[in-house]
Chains A and B, each alone.
Chain A
Amino acid sequence: MDSDDSVTDPNPHHPDPSLDAEPATVEQMGSLTLGEAGDAAGAERPVGNGFLPADFYAAAGEIEVVEEGSPVSGDLAGPSSLGGPGACRERSGRGDALPSPSSSGYAGERGSSGGSSEIEEADDRETMLDDWSRGKRHPDEDDGSVSWRKRKKHFFILSNSGKPIYSRYGDEHKLAGFSATLQAIISFVENSGDRLKFIRAGKHQVVFLVKVPIYLVCISCTEEPYEALKRQLELIYGQMLLILTKSVNRCFEKNPKYDMTPLLRGTDAVFSSLIHAFSWFVFSNPKPKALVIWNPATFLNAYTCLPLSYSTRQAASAILQDVADSGVLFALLMCKNKVVSLVGTQKASLHPDDMLLLSNFIMSSESFRTSESFSPICLPRYNPMVFLYAYVHFLDVDTYLTLLTTSSDSFYHLKDCRIRIETVLVKSNVLSEVQRSMLDGGLRVEDLPLESSLRSRSLTTPELSSSQSGIGGPSGLWHFMYRSIYLDQYVSSEFSSPISSSSQQKRLFRAYQRLYASMHDNGTGPHKTQFRRDEDFVLLCWITQDFELYAAFDPLSDKALAIKTCNRVCQWVRDLENEIFLFGASPFSW
């Protein structure tokens, strides 16, 4: 690799992440808060309270250790370069500092949304299985059906006059009365000059997102944090804009009672696949392979790349760049939900959310696989008002090329571009490398180098390949996600054997979600770490200006070792950055 290529080291201010247990460095930490939870069942653990920013964890800008049992001192040190004035504050017994869960009982304060409190939990797995394939399941259900009420997670889109637009379950038109109720609740609050964020009703949360003239509502008993559910509503709204643009709003200006459902006809598969990506697994289209893949992009605000050797990705980028120079706005080569390469003209950059929504749209629509196609598509983060035109072509079952342009008559040009691109990709073996990488999978915690001094391991050398034992990585490391803030990209490890069961993966996903929400609450400081232990995992999160690291360990892991291991993970990721990240696609690197 090119050492004098400045983009290959995007983090000149990388703190030296030496979180070694040296008492001397303690002084340099921002601050350290120690909280000790008494019991593992965690009456004080904020499960399900994530929507209350203040009561989740302590204030921002602190290093917080939440661990049962042993009081900890001095063995968690912040990156020294980020040290600042601060105190080492100790707090024992969190009862006084953190509100008890009962304070979140919003139901009593604000009332519940009618029947929602009667919804019982149902096993979502069966739902997801038959939810798959073509579009909407259970169109025969409505709010009177017991089965409908038992669904764990509902999503609704409605207009501000109460007309149903989309419902995850059940026929929209049969839900007219229910929609009108939701609308009444929202406008009742709006009329008093307020804004309704959520309602808590027993186990259920009702989360609202107002995008006049569109309302979005989620009713969920999944105990996900409010912020996570709100983000999911934002993504659903974005998916709708991708299909229709914001100019649908004009239909409501002319006729407030406008029925929008015909405009979304045939898109149920798009929404249900997006909703699956929020949860802990996505099926891969087109066949209902029971393949468990979650999509952390739905809450990390970042995209991920398919691991490839630097030269392979360069070859792909070079030909895409060539095409982009000929008047293509964005050229995007992806394999499932992973980016092979991405190139944009001029300063245009593609937002990770737009990539998520675009790839979800393409992968969930069978139509794109039949032949090459040319369709209007809106990128809501790029410009929610206008349609771009997307030329989409699948090069193999999982790999597809998307060329985006502003001009509606450039199909033949884009078709020529695709032929050129495809020829180059085949000749330079990019496509076969892509397939190989898909088979090989991503980073494995078992391969984490033992010494951080063992630099520049290439992940394409099979010498390290995986895991004799069934115990995960060193020091009980089970999984990690690393997000480069600078690049808008993340990399997450494969699931190691201790979390090979889907129920473990679901728990991990939820734990990360809560961790993410707590770390990103009100005014995140530039550097924060959090260490927590519960019966399932030891979780460690470390956020600096440059990256965010989320790591899950064996619940019995030693804390000092876990911290050390996190440093090694960061070093490892940096050593491999040319293979796991795409450089040059971020606006800051132009």
Chain B
Amino acid sequence: MATTGNSSINAKLVLLGDMGAGKSSLVLRFVKGQFLEFQESTIGAAFFSQTLAVGDATVKFEIWDTAGQERYHSLAPMYYRGAAAAIIVYDISSSVGGTPLPCLHVPDA
């Protein structure tokens, strides 16, 4: 994707959180402006990109929408390695557990 401004920034963004929390929905809204009532559970991780103009600069987001299913938990580091930002998503309507991050172990970022 070409950038017109003199400064362009590549930013890796990763979404983490439990299954069904709404990560994919958030990303799809951001990237494609869509919302699906029946969003299928993500497998492994899905990659999206979206470019935003912020003042003079353009920011190109490389977005990793990870799977919240338990079997993929151990893979989270593979996707968040080198990320500039992480969005941790949890379902506010779900009362399970007191913490939104029941099983997230983030060592060195």
Query: Do the two chains belong together in a single complex?
Result: yes
A interface with B by C-beta (< 8 Å): 134, 243-244, 262-266, 365-368, 370-377, 390, 408-409, 411, 415
Query: By the criterion CB–CB under 8 Å, are A263 and B71 in contact?
Result: yes
Query: Number of residues in B with C-beta < 8 Å to the partner?
Result: 22
Q: How far is the CA of A244 from the CA of B44 in the complex (A)?
A: 12
B71 and A374 form a contact (CB under 8 A): no
Give chain B's interface residues, CB within 8 Å of chain A: 19, 24, 28, 38, 40-48, 65, 67, 69-72, 75, 78, 81
C-alpha gap A408/B79 in the complex (Å):
9
Shortest distance from the beta carbon of A418 to any chain B beta carbon, whole Å? 11
Inter-chain contact A370/B69, CB cutoff 8 Å = no
Question: Measured between alpha carbons, how far is A367 from B19 in the docked complex, in Å?
Answer: 13
Q: Please, how many angstroms separate the alpha-carbon atoms of A368 and B72 in the complex?
A: 16
A contacts with B: majority SS: mixed
Assess whether B48 is in contact with A244, with CB atoms less than 8 Å apart: no
B8 to chain A, nearest CB (A): 18
Point out the residues of chain B lying under 8 angstroms from A243, CB to CB: 71
Assess whether B19 is in contact with A266, with CB atoms less than 8 Å apart. Answer: yes
Residues of B within 8 A of A373 (CB): 42-47
> Which residue on chain A has the smallest CB distance to residue B63?
A371
Cα A234 to Cα B45 in complex, Å, equals 28
Contact of A374 with B19 in the complex, beta carbons under 8 Å: no
Q: A367-B40, A370-B24, A370-B28 are in contact. Are A411 and B71 (CB under 8 A)?
A: no
CA gap between A23 and B72 in the complex, in Å: 66
Is B69 within 8 A of A375, CB to CB? no
**Closest 4 interchain pairs by CB?**
A375-B44, A366-B40, A266-B41, A367-B43
Report the minimum CB–CB distance from A225 to chain B (whole Å). 34
Q: Is the interface of B mostly helix, strand, loop or mixed?
A: mixed
For A366, what are the chain B residues with a Cβ–Cβ distance below 8 Å?
A: 40
Given contacts A266-B19, A266-B69, whether A372 and B42 have CB atoms under 8 Å apart is no
In the assembled complex, the Cα of A372 lies from the Cα of B48 at a distance in Å of 7
- B40 interface neighbour in A263, A365, A375, Cβ under 8 Å: A365
Chain B residues, CB < 8 A from A371: 46-48, 65
Q: Pick the contact of A265: B38, B69, B78 (CB < 8 A).
A: B69
Residues of chain B lying within 8 A (CB to CB) of residue A365: 40, 43
- Shortest beta-carbon distance from A363 to chain B in Å: 12
Q: How far, in Å, is B47 (CB) from chain A's closest CB?
A: 5
Interface centre among A244, A262, A365, A375 (most CB of B within 10 A): A375
Docked Cα-Cα span, A365 to B41, in Å, equals 8
- B43 adjacent to A375 (CB under 8 Å): yes
Choose among B44, B45, B65 the residue with the greatest number of A CB atoms under 10 Å from its CB. B44
A249 CB to closest chain B CB (Å) equals 14
State the Cβ distance, A268 to closest chain B Cβ, in Å. 10
Shortest C-beta distance, B81 to chain A (Å), equals: 8
From A264, A365, A370, name the one whose CB has the most chain B CB atoms within 10 angstroms. Answer: A370
CA A370 – CA B75 in complex, angstroms? 20
A262→B70 contact, CB < 8 A: yes
Residues of B within 8 A of A370 (CB): 24, 28, 40, 46
- Which residues of B have CB within 8 Å of A263? 70-71
Determine how close the nearest CB of chain A comes to the CB of B103; give it in whole angstroms. 11
Known: A263-B71, A367-B67. 11 other contacts (CB 8 A): A134-B38, A244-B71, A262-B70, A367-B24, A370-B46, A371-B47, A371-B48, A373-B43, A373-B46, A375-B45, A376-B75
**Can you list 27 A-B contacts (CB < 8 A)?**
A134-B38, A243-B71, A244-B71, A264-B71, A265-B19, A265-B41, A366-B40, A367-B24, A367-B40, A367-B46, A368-B43, A370-B24, A370-B40, A370-B46, A371-B46, A371-B48, A371-B65, A373-B43, A373-B45, A374-B45, A374-B47, A375-B43, A376-B44, A376-B75, A408-B78, A409-B81, A415-B47
